[in-house]
């Protein structure tokens, strides 16, 4: 198929000229998966399944909990890809704070406990169509382009804390600082948005600091 070659060429051009050692010729096939691959596949299935349940369940709190499973599964995938620092950050921030924030949000908006029949809007079938279509398009392209590309996971971990730290504080220190400003702005914005009118400001302020401290932790 011409598409595959085109995309492969594009990918190779993108990945610069130093690409010499891993030629397409000695790439292992899909029919003899390695152990890492099998593990990745299984965890990926679980993650995907959890994601599916997250977006389809009628119980809102369950959705949040299934999201934890999805994010946790992703953390495992990061580990399998030897990006260990990212994996732990994923666990800390997503599982630890984001999901907790979401649960707070659910509670504050008086989300019903148990099955709610109207969890999905009338747009569901259109959404399904679009999602399936884009999934088909994406997978087609991605598989076509990268089915012969091989990740060499041997040797030093690509994402150990040391490596990541060095990269972050040598090359990315300025964006990192800029990000801290962005987080501050987000903090202020969240306070401003969630402030009630003066009269009932005191009544609801008690529930807010938890979320905020979580965010601070994330940073």
Interaction residues for another protein, span 21-40 (CB under 8 A): 21-22, 28, 30, 34, 36-37, 40
Among 25, 26, 32, 109, binds another protein (CB under 8 A): 109
Q: Kindly list the distances between the CA atom of residue 1 and the CA atoms of 8, 11, 26, 140, in Å, as whole numbers in the listed order.
A: 11, 16, 20, 12
Contacts 24+ apart (CB under 8 A), 4-9: 4/144, 4/145, 4/147, 7/141, 7/144, 7/145, 7/146, 8/145, 8/146, 8/148
Which residues in the 116-155 window bind another protein by CB under 8 A?
118-124, 126-135, 137-139, 141-143, 146-147, 149-153, 155
Q: Which residue has the tokens 């302020």?
A: 205
Should residue 65 be labelled a site residue for another protein when binding is judged by CB under 8 A?
A: no
Q: How far is the CB of 24 from another protein (least distance, A)?
A: 12
Tokens of 39: 């593990």
DSSP run (H or E) holding 2: helix 2-14
189 binds another protein (CB under 8 A): yes
Report which DSSP code applies to 115: B
- Letters for 166-185 (x = contact with another protein by CB under 8 A, - = none) are -xx--xx--xx--x--xx--
Number of residues that bind another protein (CB under 8 A): 112
Q: Does 52 bind another protein (CB under 8 A)?
A: yes
Interface pick for another protein out of 13, 15, 205, 213 (rule CB under 8 A)? 15
- Which residue from 115, 177, 200, 213 is in contact with another protein, where contact means CB under 8 A? 200
13, 24, 41, 210: residue in contact with another protein (rule CB under 8 A): 41
């Amino acid at each position: 198929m011409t598409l595959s070659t085109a995309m492969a060429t594009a990918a190779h051009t993108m990945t610069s000229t130093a690409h010499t050692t891993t030629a397409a010729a000695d790439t292992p096939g899909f029919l003899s998966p390695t152990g890492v691959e099998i593990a990745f596949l299984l965890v990926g299935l679980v993650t995907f399944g959890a994601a599916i349940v997250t977006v389809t369940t009628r119980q809102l709190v369950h959705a949040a909990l299934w999201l934890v499973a999805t994010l946790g599964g992703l953390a495992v995938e990061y580990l399998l890809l030897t990006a260990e620092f990212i994996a732990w950050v994923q666990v800390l921030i997503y599982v630890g704070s984001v999901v907790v924030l979401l649960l707070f949000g659910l509670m504050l908006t008086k989300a019903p406990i148990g099955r709610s029949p109207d969890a999905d809007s009338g747009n569901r079938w259109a959404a399904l169509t679009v999602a399936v279509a884009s999934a088909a398009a994406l997978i087609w392209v991605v598989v076509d382009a990268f089915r012969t590309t091989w990740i060499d996971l041997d040797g030093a971990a690509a994402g150990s804390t040391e490596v990541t730290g060095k990269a972050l504080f040598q090359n990315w220190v300025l964006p990192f600082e800029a990000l801290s400003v962005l987080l501050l702005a987000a903090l202020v914005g969240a306070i401003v948005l969630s402030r009630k009118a003066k009269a009932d400001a005191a009544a609801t302020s008690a529930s807010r600091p938890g979320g905020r401290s979580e965010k601070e932790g994330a940073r």
